[in-house]
A and B are shown apart, each in its own frame.
Chain A
Amino acid sequence: MAPVEAKRARNEANDPSSLVMRFGPDRPLALDAGVDLAPFQIAYQTYGQLNAARSNAILVCHALTGDQHVANAHPVTGKPGWWEKLIGPGRTVDTDRFFVICANVVGGCLGSTGPASRNPATGRPYGLDLPVITIRDMVRAQVMLVDSLGIDRLFSVIGGSMGGMQVLEWAASYPERVLTAVPIATGARHSAQNIAFHEVGRQAVMADPDWCGGRYFEHGKRPEKGLAVARMAAHITYLSESALHRKFGRNLQDRENLTFGFDADFQIESYLRHQGITFVDRFDANAYLYMTRAMDYFDLAADHDGRLADAFAGTSTRFCVVSFTSDWLFPTEESRTIVHALTAAGASVSFVEIETDRGHDAFLLEEPEFFATVGGFLGAAARARGLDLP
């Protein structure tokens, strides 16, 4: 595929080109799997300045295949940050006013400890020796990072999809440390359909002979085909039927007629293949297994005797829940469930459903009404809390 990018991605896993917070054997990360992870590290980026009162920090949580490079060029692909339209100087989340932190999740592959990281016990990559990581583990690690940065309370925690799950976990487990929470295009639990799609992706990775039981690095291989198929299948779930039809229809790719073969006749096939191929250059296959598993295991109500409202009992965090009409991965009904639970808990909650045909991916795209929602919510919360912003 593209060996230069792949090598760069491999380097990022251990020696990232972002800021790194290292936690020694004396500061282990207690995992839900019942073991301590130590030593471990968190790779993160920050934007803007922390004010004197340390009250203007916003933590951004990334999605399944995202990373800490939310508002700067990606070190492997060179592409703009994944939320650069939303976050930056003068943007909706204005880094001239807020101090924005975004960390690669534990279990990821862009510099925080994950399956591609060197296991200090063996000197080899962890592979599947890394315990299964949960959303709560990711958040615990973020708490340790925020502690290390000397921040008691976050002005806001914002994230979409898997990032939104982390937002909910933050609000449920550390309510006194979160002034406002913005869970976007997410759910309080992963649905059976979503687990099913993830399982298809994992099986595609593990069925690739180059996966080598997760030890592909030591064999000088990578399960590129399997991971590309996983990405292709997943990518369909990020879009919508109408958007696919609008963009591609039944258009043919660089040809006048059907070839009566199995080459990529249709533009949509070519597009998906491209999505798969470019993904394997920047993402570790085992990390994909860990990320999908973390989402599958997420069930916030189950942690509170099945009552989601209890997860938010007595909270003073202000919430802004956002969903998108054509998102069938995390349909509006999932957000409505969160809103009902927050309502029952007496929480202050805003809930907006954005009209769009761009599917789940809409949260990563420029959607003016979505940006206006986030901007209005954060601005009002800053005023209500008397936040002294530049």
Chain B
Amino acid sequence: MSVNNTQRIDLKVVVDLIEPRARVLDVGCGDGELLELLQNEKNVDGRGIELSQRGVNESVARGLSVIQGDADRDLGFYPDKGFDYVVLSQTLQATRNPKAVLDDLLRIGERAIVSFPNFGHWRVRLSLLFKGRMPVTRDLPYSWYDTPNIHFCTIRDFVSLCDELGATVESATALDRYGQKIALAMPWAFWNMFGQQAVFLLRR
């Protein structure tokens, strides 16, 4: 489920948002990189759900609590507020129904942490504007016909979806292409142009 992206610059930001010893569900946990970080640095009670069987098997062999499953199909089995945090890291854009998934995240977790690549970034805009082609960049390396990312959104799109679902944005961080946080005081429009990735902390 998670996009195999070597530049997971959002992970550190996610780790910083999580309280020690929290109960954390990582949806689309890949090979368990974030869960392992959280266990080592925050001593969390971490669980994961991952679509790729290889990711799951590797994670479990490394001692992580991970099940094979699909964010679109299997989140319904989790009880309400069973976790302090539910993390969806670089996965929202690969789900079939991002709205339903986000709704489930807000139901399952006291808080939801969502990170995603911003399709409103100026490089993306320029690529479409001048080349007239779907952008293929270092962070979004797939061609349109084989990409797992079927539901891209911009930071502004995401904020309006949060409004629609009655979610409160507790904090939001935009990261530039070097993984540096963009200064906090900027308006959404600026972030939407210059943030390559966004990390949101939500609650409902």
**Interface of A toward B, CB cutoff 8 Å:** 318, 320-321, 339-340, 343-346, 348-355, 369, 372-373, 375-377, 379-381, 383
Contacts and interface: CB of A to CB of B under 8 A. Distances in A.
Contacts, number: 65
Contacts of A348: 45, 47, 65
Contact of B82 (A339, A346, A369, A383): A346
A343 B67 contact: yes
Q: Which of the listed residues B45, B67, B74, B78 has the most CB atoms from chain A within 10 Å of its own CB?
A: B67
B67 A350 contact: yes
A386 to B, nearest CB: 13
Nearest to B83: A346
Given A318-B65, A346-B82, A352 B60 contact: yes
Interface residues of B, number: 21
A369 B62 CA distance: 12
A352 B56 contact: yes
Nearest to A369: B57
A353 B68 contact: yes
22 contacts: A339-B67, A340-B77, A344-B79, A345-B79, A346-B82, A348-B47, A348-B65, A350-B66, A351-B56, A351-B66, A351-B69, A352-B56, A369-B57, A372-B61, A373-B61, A375-B61, A376-B61, A376-B63, A377-B60, A380-B62, A380-B64, A383-B63
Nearest to A381: B63
B63 A377 contact: yes
A2 B61 CA distance: 44
A68 B154 CA distance: 61
Interface string B61-95: 11111111100001001110010000000000000
Contacts of B127: none
B53 interface: yes
Given A346-B82, A348-B47, A380 B57 contact: no
Interface string B153-173: 000000000000000000000
Contact of B77 (A343, A350, A355, A375): A343
Given A350-B65, A350-B67, A344 B77 contact: yes
